Amino acid sequence: MMDERTNDTVAAPGGAIRLHKQLDALWGTPGGWGRLAAVNHTIVGRRFIATAFVFFGIGGILAMLIRAQLATPRSAFLQPEIYNQVFTMHGTVMMFLFAIPMFEGFAIYLLPKLLGTRDMAFPRLGAYGYWCYLFGGSMLLIAMAVGLAPNGGWFMYTPLSSRVYTPGINSDIWLIGITFVEISALSAAVEIIATILKTRAPGMSLDKMPLLAWYLLVTAFMMLFGFPPLILGSILLEVERAFDLPLFDPTRGGDALLWQHLFWLFGHPEVYIIFLPAAGMVSTILPVLARREIIGYSAIVISIVALAFLSFGLWVHHMFTVGIPHLALAFFSSASTAVAVPTAVQIFAWIGTLAAGRPQLKLPMLYLLGFFSVFVIGGLTGVMLAIVPFNWQVHDTHFVVAHLHYVLVGGFVFPMLAAAYYWLPHFTGRVPRHSLGVPAFWLIIVGFNVTFLVMHLTGLLGMPRRIHGYGAETGWEWPNLVSSVGSFVMAIGFALFTVDVLLHWLHGKRSARNPWRAGTLEWAIAVPPTNYAFASLPDVATRAPLQERPDLGNHLARGGGYLGFVRNGWLETLGVDVMSGRVEQIVRLPNQTMLPLFTALVTGVFFVSVLFKLYVVALLALPAIVAMLLAWTPVSGERRDHGALPIGNGAEAVLHSEARSPPSLWAMGLTLAADATAFASLAFGILFLWVVAPNWPPPSMIGWAPWGVALSAGGLVTGFIAGRIATLRGVVRSGRRREAALAIALLGQIVALLGLADVILAVPPPTQHAYGAATTIILIYAGLHAALAAVFAGFGIWRSRAGYVSQTRTVDLRIGALWSDYTAAIGIATLLIVYGLPLVMG
């Protein structure tokens, strides 16, 4: 126990057992229906992993249906419409409902344990993301069960996915369901970045982080900047389908290639978003089984960052045959080839570690060797596809399908299977038995290569992808039959893996802590882990703390680290400086609550209402979502200043509400970075249509709205200035002055909304030409941000009057000011685009 007024730790009677009981009473999750309120990272991470594995099984069954259809010529196994739904759902499930959520689950489960902290920075955000993922994925599965599954491919190319060619709701289900699911991905990205940067163990500077944390950090940044273009594209396509806005219709000034640009701005980084977490697991598991520290830590970190940057410059790699200029072809071909260099750096580091160590051929190592063999083949065929003349020959053939599976299955599934066996003792607290693990491995790797190695030949023989059937005269019969047989062998291997894991879970013997003798912190806690992970937090001085101090786990369990006590019923962990890992603050975390579940349900009401064209209900759901999110805030602040509080070992820190750089401020900055990416993608789309799309210039241009421009610009600038004034030290000291500044900011945003509405009235009808549609959308985009800025200003007034704001507790005001700053920036940029672009483009 701890008296918050002193620096003295009061030893808890009963030692470690009493400390455990006290922490478990605070951090534990009740059983029954109360478990739905869980926000603890261990429970949420397990839910993600289990749900993603179920989706993986469903995606595998769909793959078996595809292979059964293609096993013989002119097969009548599946009708064309059903086949289109099956192959669309297979790709959708594997890309959106398995790979990314599986990575999210492992990250949420492992990160706090790797970093020596008690939970993620925003536990409720992780729980909300899970429910959004579950509900969005369920929408797609229900649609498949009733015969309304998406049928336009997991890429939804326009114009085939437009209302003219796909009149049903199949495509709408994909667009709305995937957008719903992507809320989960962006939530995870924000949470992962904030957790890694701000809630590591004391002393864990960036250069002492485990490599897996580096991989997850870079991946989360890629998600933050990679997913907004897809979300924006999905919204634009749904708006076109629902309201006939011709953004992708070339007859009215749109362009179908705009969808491809937006989709592949997400789609190519997506490949590396899937690969990098798996590579991080390779970099974690391989040194342990090789019994040697990994070679080239710094080189690997640099290569990860380089890979992330390069991946965003490769999206046209998927569009070599659409007719882009030759100079662009040369640039993107070179970039696609260059991306192999940072990947090779990692592979050579792994091989060097194996060569310099004493590898143990245990089951996780078998899957790592399988990963090496499969992924290298995928990388080689990737370099082949980067060469434009060869790409032209095999584009949209089964050669590309084979390459894709060698990269994704080799680069993700094999490392994930190795990770499953490596961390199973951590999940279950039981010793691995692996009675079926070895035969499962051989069935999977043999079946996989038989399936997809032959598929390269099928593609070279000219077989297109996405076709329902083929004739016997094509010569494709025997390779397709071999591929289908191989796929069923692989499916048997995955079934054996599932049975092996279940037997391990049910009948394995109890495992000791750290059975692999690893050096990372996740093995310093009890297995299976407690809800609070660490009874006290370590002070980290090396990259492998357990190798330096094997008894560290017992020391922490006895409360010998930081926060080895219970104080005021608070759930506490520590926040640190981003670079050095120096302790900055005590982060108070929320306990279990149903709010994430209820907020996800209201969010689901919005998406379902949009799907069934119940737009009045959808409009009512939007403020309800905002209200539900605001309901999270009363427990996230303090009504009085506490000053510096003891954290153990003679050290002190302030609460995060009084800190200069709390995680919540970082979360807002990261959210705005993602939002800015979406806005930049929208601006790119407008410029693309001006330059490339047919039927330009438009028949009529936007009229000058002097009052609208003046009101919107003036209101945005007023909101920005008043929001910033409210955060000044002298103003914050006086409750009346800060509330007056916030009231002026609120009024400014309302004036800006009125001005933007006046400008929208001057826009040509949005259904006549893509110019009017795009201009209307970007103005509405700016208006929505002004409306939310008004909400933030009103929220600041409420928090101020409720006592959550003081001279030291200003984080609520600073968060609102960040949003108003950003709103002013994109609002002014919107007016410049709307009125300046027509002048520049003539």
Question: How is residue 815 written in tokens?
Answer: 């968060």
- CA atoms within a 13 Å half-sphere pointing along the CA-CB vector of 323: 3
Residue with tokens 């978003």: 273
The pLDDT score that the predictor gives to residue 706 is: 94
Question: How is residue 786 written in tokens?
Answer: 């002004």
The pLDDT score that the predictor gives to residue 6 is: 37
Span 258-290, pLDDT tens digits: 999 999 999 889 999 999 999 999 999 999 999
Contact 439, 496 (CB under 8 A): yes
Q: How far is 420 from 428, CA to CA, in rounded Å?
A: 11
Q: 648 pLDDT band (50/70/90 cuts)?
A: very high
Q: 3 pLDDT band (50/70/90 cuts)?
A: very low
Q: 681 pLDDT band (50/70/90 cuts)?
A: very high
Strand, helix or coil for residue 585: strand
Percentage of the chain surpassing pLDDT 70? 98
Q: 330 pLDDT band (50/70/90 cuts)?
A: confident
Q: In the predicted model, is pLDDT for residue 589 greater than 70?
A: yes
- Please state the rounded mean pLDDT for residues 384-390: 92
**What is the SS3 string spanning 28-56?**
CCCCHHHHHHCCCHHHHHHHHHHHHHHHH
> What are the phi and psi torsion angles at 464 (to 5°)?
-70, 155
Q: Taking the model in full, what pTM does it have? A: 0.96
Span 783-816, pLDDT tens digits: 999 999 999 999 999 999 999 999 999 999 999 9
Q: How far is 112 from 117, CA to CA, in rounded Å?
A: 5
Phi-psi region of 259 (alpha: psi -120 to 50; beta: other; left: phi over 0): alpha
The pLDDT score that the predictor gives to residue 15 is: 77
The helix or strand, by DSSP H or E, that contains position 622, with its residue range, turns out to be helix 615-630
Contact 119, 40 (CB under 8 A): yes
Q: Which residues of 137-159 are buried (b: 16+ CB within 10 A; e: fewer)?
A: bebbbebbeeebbbbbbbbbebb
Which residues neighbour 766 within 8 Å (Cβ) at sequence distance 6 or greater?
243, 245, 772, 773, 775, 776, 777
The pLDDT score that the predictor gives to residue 506 is: 84
560 burial class (0-12, 13-18, 19+ CB within 10 angstroms)?
A: middle
Contact 253, 770 (CB under 8 A): yes
Span 443-457, pLDDT tens digits: 999 999 999 999 999
Between the CA atoms of 729, 733, 737 and 738, what dihedral angle is there, to the nearest 10 degrees? 70
Q: How far is 710 from 716, CA to CA, in rounded Å?
A: 10
Q: Which of 144-148, 337-341, 628-632 comes out lowest in average pLDDT? A: 337-341
The pLDDT score that the predictor gives to residue 14 is: 57
Contact 138, 78 (CB under 8 A): no
Residue 447: closest CA among 477, 484, 421:
484
Strand, helix or coil for residue 757: helix
- Please state the rounded mean pLDDT for residues 667-691: 96
Contact 215, 173 (CB under 8 A): no
The pLDDT score that the predictor gives to residue 105 is: 97
Span 471-527, pLDDT tens digits: 999 999 999 999 999 999 999 999 999 999 998 888 888 888 889 999 999 999 999
The pLDDT score that the predictor gives to residue 335 is: 83
- In Å, how far from its chain's centre is CA 684? 23
The pLDDT score that the predictor gives to residue 444 is: 97
Span 215-226, pLDDT tens digits: 999 999 999 999
User: CA angle at residue 404 from 403 to 410, to 5 degrees?
Assistant: 90
DSSP lists the bridge partners of residue 585 as 575, 654
The pLDDT score that the predictor gives to residue 508 is: 82
Q: How far is 441 from 443, CA to CA, in rounded Å?
A: 6
Contact 787, 686 (CB under 8 A): no
- Going by the DSSP 8-state scheme, the letter that residue 529 receives in this structure is P
The pLDDT score that the predictor gives to residue 732 is: 85
Residue 520: closest CA among 287, 276, 220, 351:
287
The residue length of the chain stands at: 842
- Please state the rounded mean pLDDT for residues 609-617: 96
Q: 442 pLDDT band (50/70/90 cuts)?
A: very high
- Please state the rounded mean pLDDT for residues 146-153: 93
The pLDDT score that the predictor gives to residue 494 is: 97
Side-by-side strand order, sheet with 583-589: 571-576, 583-589, 651-655, 645-648
Span 35-54, pLDDT tens digits: 999 999 999 999 999 999 99
Question: How is residue 159 written in tokens?
Answer: 């114009």
Q: How far is 523 from 525, CA to CA, in rounded Å?
A: 5
- Going by the DSSP 8-state scheme, the letter that residue 763 receives in this structure is S
The pLDDT score that the predictor gives to residue 10 is: 41
Q: Which amino acid type is present at position 713?
A: A
- Going by the DSSP 8-state scheme, the letter that residue 464 receives in this structure is B
| Chain mean pLDDT for the chain | 93
Q: How far is 188 from 127, CA to CA, in rounded Å?
A: 10
Q: 684 pLDDT band (50/70/90 cuts)?
A: very high
